[in-house]
């Protein structure tokens, strides 16, 4: 009953703001509520406070004692939803599959796959030396073990 009420409050709050979307949500047996958000334009502290208030102000601590934590997906957190990939098009990413690790620019994302592009040095087809070649690869979400944005400082 408690989880159902919290889920409804969370879904209503997210529906009010089309920018925000849910990455993870859990309630432990001792009523510790954890909500992890992401947003098409990022997540601000105000966004977290707004979602937190929408849940907290509609629950009665006299009925059910709880703790609540609303946070944004960290910049170094792996991407898990197609929507996260779409918001990061144009950024450099590292993608791990069961066979290999790829690093390149995320240039496309659909509901089923991503497109990664990078430059590679390869031996010339004829003669000695190497040439720079533009590579492009489509990777299905089902083949991705982990994908993260590469942060540059």
Task: Judge whether residue 86 has pLDDT over 80.
Answer: yes
What's the sign of the alpha-carbon dihedral 2, 8, 11, 14?
negative
Q: Do 100 and 141 fall within a single domain? A: yes
Rounded distance between C-alpha atoms, residue 88 and residue 129, angstroms: 35
d(CA 3, CA 123): 59
Q: From residue 72, how far is each of 47, 78, 109, 149 by CA, in Å?
A: 9, 12, 22, 15
| Greater model confidence, 41 or 94 | 94
Q: Which domain holds residue 92?
A: 82-149
Token pair of 48 as six digits? 């977290």
Supply the CATH number for residue 93's domain: 2.30.30
At which of 51, 72, 93 does a domain end?
72
68 within some domain:
yes
Prediction pTM value: 0.79
User: Mean of the pLDDT values across residues 61-88?
Assistant: 90
What pLDDT sits at residue 119? 94
User: Does residue 135 lie in a domain region?
Assistant: yes
List, for residues 4-60, the tens digit of each pLDDT value.
Answer: 999 999 999 999 988 899 999 999 999 999 999 999 988 999 999 999 999 999 998
Last residue of some domain: 10, 38, 72? 72
- Residue 77: inside a domain, yes or no? no
């Amino acid at each position: 009953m408690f989880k159902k009420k919290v889920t409804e409050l969370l879904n209503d709050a997210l529906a009010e703001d089309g920018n925000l979307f849910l990455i993870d949500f859990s309630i432990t047996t001792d009523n510790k509520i954890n909500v992890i958000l992401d947003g098409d334009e990022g997540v601000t502290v105000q966004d977290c406070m707004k979602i937190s208030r929408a849940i907290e102000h509609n629950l009665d601590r006299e009925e059910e004692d709880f703790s609540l934590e609303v946070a944004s997906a960290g910049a170094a957190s792996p991407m898990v939803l197609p929507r996260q990939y779409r918001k990061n098009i144009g950024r450099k990413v590292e993608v791990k599959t069961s066979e290999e690790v790829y690093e390149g620019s995320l240039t496309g994302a659909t509901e089923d796959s991503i497109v990664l592009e990078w430059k590679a040095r390869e031996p010339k087809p004829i003669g000695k030396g190497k040439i720079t070649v533009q590579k492009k690869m489509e990777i299905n979400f089902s083949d991705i073990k982990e994908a993260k944005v590469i942060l540059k400082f």
